[in-house]
């Protein structure tokens, strides 16, 4: 009798109620904040989408205005991702499977520390140190790989082009991708690894057979988190990138596609009237892009998880 | 050390000046009404207290710091002057809506905005050109000490039509310079700015057949390297040999600055040459003696005038509803255009002090500010 009552009405203490209410509140709060941001972007942005030439720096329509910046945003982020993901996976593997324990710990701290550097510092570093240092490399790429549209040149003498901006972004998203990959790789079931080794696999073969399949969805979601940060990164790009409102795959020249976030930061201080709405509307586009990226990432992770080897 | 001693020397002058002006201003308004507030300020300009809210052009920000400090330290310790550097457009907007008592703006009021401002003031608007900042054409060519650039050449470089330093068009004006066989990398502002507006206005006025993009505060689609803010442009030019850009002259630092072709000669920028362009310009018609606004004679051929300048205005009402607003605005703007105020701005922001003629006219306009 007593057992039945308990299963129908589990005992509820005050602590349980408070905890469940707090958790529920936190869940609702995040939805409210997100909804609030979305509503703000919509209400303030819609007048911008229909704005006339005067507020669009001479462009005919809002879409013609935002297009190059949307392209530049995605392009810069993809460069960052292409550079950062292999390095991050390498660092994570080194920390989780190769390095001696003490080295791994220290290296982990250092990578995490990189995440704590403010983006304006990355921007200033990009201008003063990285871009001049990269100019010889860019020059070499232009001379030797100039047949590729990416390295057409002519190389900008100050080095403040998409090439540098992409690399600065890569450095900035490196820690978050590394940290997540490291944690995922460490979760690989010991039995899988030992089974692979017992079958005569070398360490690299073991990693390919067990760690990668198990961690694939983790790598994807880590990359998507990194991509999210790269898409929204503002100040470093605003400082480093010589951005214009054009479409170009050329990463070395003086004219590069600007990014949405950097454009907002640059134009907002002097903007007034409808021009502000236009900038907020470009923010809405960035919001949509980021949402689409996250949604796609979630889809990929969901599909991959069935074959991840975790089951 | 230098700045302290200068400010100390300037302070008594400013005090005496503003006291005299306060008396003369009040004697004029006493004829109309003789209320308590006016009597109070006759006893001493330093007894004003209250808060004056203004905002607008960010170009004036550095000068405004100097003015605010000078105004408070010298004569009016109890007055708080707030200046919100929201940008010229925002400044005009908020002046019209009544948010700001005065506004700073890189361009003067026109059309609808002028009508709106007149409505807000219930009558005439006061506009005075109180901040003149020369814009230098800076270049990075280590072996070239002086560079002469004719207006068409400046426009050609920034329009992307002249692409090499040893171009005959440049060589023609620089017979003595050893111009390198180097590509020109023109650098411009990536953010919307009054500096860009004035620079494009110069090219539009002097070489509109080469520079076909008109006057614009956002750089048009002509290519070149884009950099954020004045400091960004300067560091981009410093970073790349063969680069050329435009920036507040005070920020040029070690870089070479070009002498600009005016008439038959080439003029290096100097504060006097920059201030002279306002004197060489015609006042816009129909604005009375309180609307001291100018369509700058960028294409002037007058000797010793440097035509690439940014002129920033202060906008105020001729008649305020509140006595306090009128008094504070009058006192503050009087300080701003006074020699002490202009010197403080020159020291802090590298601006060019306005000429005596403009100062007199502006003072006459400011003196008329009253409460209705």
Place of tokens 């890569």: A170
Please report the pLDDT score of residue B246 as a whole number: 92
Q: Cα distance from B105 to chain A (closest Cα, Å)?
A: 11
Please give the helix or strand (H or E) that residue B106 lies within, else none: none
* pLDDT (tens digit per residue) in A134-148: 988 988 888 888 888
Angstrom distances, CA of residue B65 to CA of B55, B70, B84, B245:
12, 8, 11, 27
Place of tokens 């005919």: A60
Across the interface, of B86, B220, B232, the residue whose CB is closest to A239 is B232
Q: Is the pTM of this model over 0.90?
A: no
Diameter over CA atoms, chain B: 73
**CATH number belonging to the domain at B135-275, selected among 3.40.190.10, 3.40.50.150, 3.40.50.1370, 3.40.640.10:** 3.40.190.10
- The SS3 call for residue A244 is strand
Tokens of B343: 């010197």
Beta strand B265-267 with B259-262: parallel, antiparallel or unpaired?
antiparallel
Chain A residue with the nearest C-alpha to that of B220: A57
What residues of B are in contact with residue A158 (Cβ under 8 Å)?
185, 187, 225, 236-237, 239-240, 243
**pLDDT greater at residue B40 or residue A55:** A55
Cross-strand pairs, B52: B81
Helix A162-186 to helix A62-93 angle (10° resolution) is: 50
Whether residue A192 has pLDDT greater than 60: yes
Q: Cα distance from A241 to chain B (closest Cα, Å)?
A: 8
- The SS3 call for residue B291 is strand
Tell the burial category of A249 from Cβ atoms under 10 Å away from its Cβ (0-12, 13-18, 19+). middle
Tokens of B341: 């105020």
Distance CA A186, CA A180 (A): 10
For B143: left if phi > 0, alpha if psi spans -120 to 50, otherwise beta; the answer is alpha
What are the φ and ψ backbone dihedral angles of B126, each rounded to 5 degrees?
-95, 130
| Cβ pair A239:B218 closer than 8 A | no
Question: The sheet that has B259-262: what strands, in order across it?
Answer: B148-149, B259-262, B265-267
Q: Cα distance from B25 to chain A (closest Cα, Å)?
A: 36
Please report the pLDDT score of residue A39 as a whole number: 92
Whether residue A197 has pLDDT greater than 50: yes
Across the interface, of B89, B235, B241, the residue whose CB is closest to A157 is B241
The set of residues, in sequence order, having a beta carbon less than 8 Å from that of B1 and lying 6+ positions away, is none
Residue A10: CB atoms within 10 Å: 8
Tell the burial category of A54 from Cβ atoms under 10 Å away from its Cβ (0-12, 13-18, 19+). exposed
Residue range(s) of every CATH 3.40.190.10 domain in chain B:
2-132+286-292+315-371, 135-275
Across the interface, of A131, A255, A271, the residue whose CB is closest to B192 is A271
**Chains A and B: how many Cβ contacts under 8 Å?**
100
Helix A274-305 to helix A212-232 angle (10° resolution) is: 180
Whether residue A274 has pLDDT greater than 70: yes
Give the closest residue to B244 by CA, choosing from B157, B151, B153.
B157
Distance CA A80, CA A82 (A): 6
* pLDDT (tens digit per residue) in B74-107: 777 888 888 888 888 888 888 998 889 999 988 8
- Looking at the domain A23-307, which fold is it? MetI-like fold (1.10.3720)
Across the interface, of A154, A160, A269, the residue whose CB is closest to B236 is A160
Rounded mean pLDDT of chain B?
81
Residue B16: CB atoms within 10 Å: 13
* pLDDT (tens digit per residue) in A276-307: 888 899 999 999 998 888 888 778 777 765 55
Whether residue B234 has pLDDT greater than 50: yes
| Bond from prior residue into A154 cis (ω within 30 degrees of 0) | yes
Report ipTM (2 d.p.). 0.74
| Cβ pair B190:A270 closer than 8 A | no
Angstrom distances, CA of residue B181 to CA of A114, A153, B168, B178:
43, 18, 11, 10
Rounded mean pLDDT of chain A?
86
CATH code 3.40.190.10 for B2-132+286-292+315-371: yes
∠ CA A258-A262-A266, nearest 5°, is 105
**Residue among A254, A278, A279 with most chain B CBs within 10 A, to mutate:** A254
Distance CA A275, CA A248 (A): 25
| Cβ pair B239:A159 closer than 8 A | yes
Tokens of A166: 């992409």
Domain coordinates in residue numbering, chain A: 23-307
B230 in Cβ contact with B195 (< 8 Å): yes
- The SS3 call for residue A135 is helix
Diameter over CA atoms, chain A: 86
* pLDDT (tens digit per residue) in B42-62: 334 457 788 888 988 888 888
| Cβ pair B239:A254 closer than 8 A | no
Whether residue A31 has pLDDT greater than 90: yes
Q: Cα distance from A271 to chain B (closest Cα, Å)?
A: 7
| Cβ pair B232:A131 closer than 8 A | no
**Residue among B227, B237, B255 with most chain A CBs within 10 A, to mutate:** B227
- The SS3 call for residue B301 is coil
Across the interface, of A158, A238, A254, the residue whose CB is closest to B228 is A238
What residues of A are in contact with residue B84 (Cβ under 8 Å)?
none
Give the closest residue to B53 by CA, choosing from B79, B81, B72.
B81
Please give the helix or strand (H or E) that residue A123 lies within, else none: helix A119-125
Distance CA B124, CA B115 (A): 10
A299 in Cβ contact with A217 (< 8 Å): no
């Amino acid at each position: 009798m007593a057992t039945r009552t308990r299963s129908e009405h589990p005992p509820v203490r005050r602590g349980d109620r408070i905890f469940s209410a707090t958790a529920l509140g936190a869940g609702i709060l995040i939805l409210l904040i997100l909804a609030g941001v979305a509503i703000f972007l919509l209400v303030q942005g819609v007048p911008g989408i229909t704005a006339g030439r005067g507020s669009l720096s001479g462009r005919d329509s809002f879409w013609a205005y935002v297009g190059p910046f949307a392209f530049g945003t995605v392009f810069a982020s993809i460069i960052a991702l292409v550079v950062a993901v292999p390095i991050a996976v390498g660092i994570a593997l080194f920390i989780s499977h190769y390095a001696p324990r003490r080295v791994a710990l220290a290296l982990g701290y250092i990578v995490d520390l990189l995440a704590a550097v403010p983006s304006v510092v990355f921007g200033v570093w990009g201008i003063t140190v990285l871009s001049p240092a990269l100019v010889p490399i860019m020059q070499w790429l232009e001379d030797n790989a100039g047949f590729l549209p990416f390295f057409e040149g002519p190389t900008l003498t100050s080095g403040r082009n998409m090439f540098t901006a992409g690399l600065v972004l890569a450095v900035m998203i490196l820690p978050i991708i590394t940290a997540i990959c490291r944690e995922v790789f460490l979760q690989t079931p010991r039995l899988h690894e030992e089974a692979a080794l017992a079958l005569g696999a070398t360490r690299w073969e073991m990693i390919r057979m067990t760690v990668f399949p198990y961690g694939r969805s983790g790598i994807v979601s880590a990359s998507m988190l990194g991509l999210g940060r790269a898409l929204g990164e503002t100040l470093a790009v605003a400082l480093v990138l010589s951005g214009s409102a054009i479409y170009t795959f050329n990463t070395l020249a003086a004219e590069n596609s600007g990014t949405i976030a950097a454009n907002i930061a640059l134009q907002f201080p002097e903007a007034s009237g409808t021009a502000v709405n236009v900038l907020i509307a470009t923010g809405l586009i960035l919001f949509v892009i980021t949402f689409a990226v996250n949604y796609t990432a979630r889809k990929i992770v969901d599909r991959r998880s069935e074959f991840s080897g975790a089951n | 050390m230098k700045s302290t001693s200068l400010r100390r020397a300037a302070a008594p002058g400013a005090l005496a000046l503003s006291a005299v002006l306060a008396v003369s201003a009040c004697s004029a308004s006493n004829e109309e009404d003789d209320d308590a507030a006016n009597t109070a300020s006759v006893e001493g300009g330093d007894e004003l207290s209250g808060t004056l809210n203004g905002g607008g052009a960010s170009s004036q920000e550095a000068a405004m710091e100097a003015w605010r400090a000078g105004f408070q330290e010298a004569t009016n310790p109890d007055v708080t002057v707030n200046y919100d550097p929201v940008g010229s457009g925002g400044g005009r907007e908020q002046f019209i809506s009544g948010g700001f008592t005065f506004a700073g703006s890189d361009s003067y009021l026109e059309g609808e905005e002028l009508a709106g401002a007149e409505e807000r003031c219930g009558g005439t608007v006061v506009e005075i050109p109180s901040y003149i900042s020369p814009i230098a054409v800076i270049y990075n060519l280590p072996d070239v000490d002086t560079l002469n650039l004719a207006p068409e050449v400046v426009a050609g470089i920034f329009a992307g039509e002249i692409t090499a330093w040893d171009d005959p068009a440049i060589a023609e004006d620089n017979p003595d310079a050893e111009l390198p066989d180097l590509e020109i990398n023109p650098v411009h502002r990536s953010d919307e700015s009054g500096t860009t507006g004035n620079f494009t206005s110069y090219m539009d006025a002097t070489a509109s057949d080469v520079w076909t993009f008109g006057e614009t505060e956002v750089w048009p689609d002509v290519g070149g390297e884009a950099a954020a803010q004045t400091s960004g442009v300067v560091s981009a030019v410093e970073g790349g040999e063969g680069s050329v850009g435009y920036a507040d002259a005070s920020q040029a630092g070690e870089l070479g600055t070009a002498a600009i072709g005016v008439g038959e000669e080439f003029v290096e920028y100097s504060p006097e040459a920059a201030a002279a362009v306002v004197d060489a310009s015609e006042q816009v018609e129909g604005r009375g003696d309180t609307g001291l606004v100018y369509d700058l004679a960028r294409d002037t051929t007058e000797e010793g005038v440097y035509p690439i300048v940014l002129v920033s205005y202060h906008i105020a009402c001729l008649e305020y509803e509140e006595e306090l607003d009128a008094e504070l605005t009058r006192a503050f703007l009087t300080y701003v255009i006074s020699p002490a105020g202009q010197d403080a701005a020159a020291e802090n922001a590298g601006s060019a002090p306005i000429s005596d003629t403009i100062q007199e006219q502006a003072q006459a306009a400011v003196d008329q500010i009253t409460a209705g």
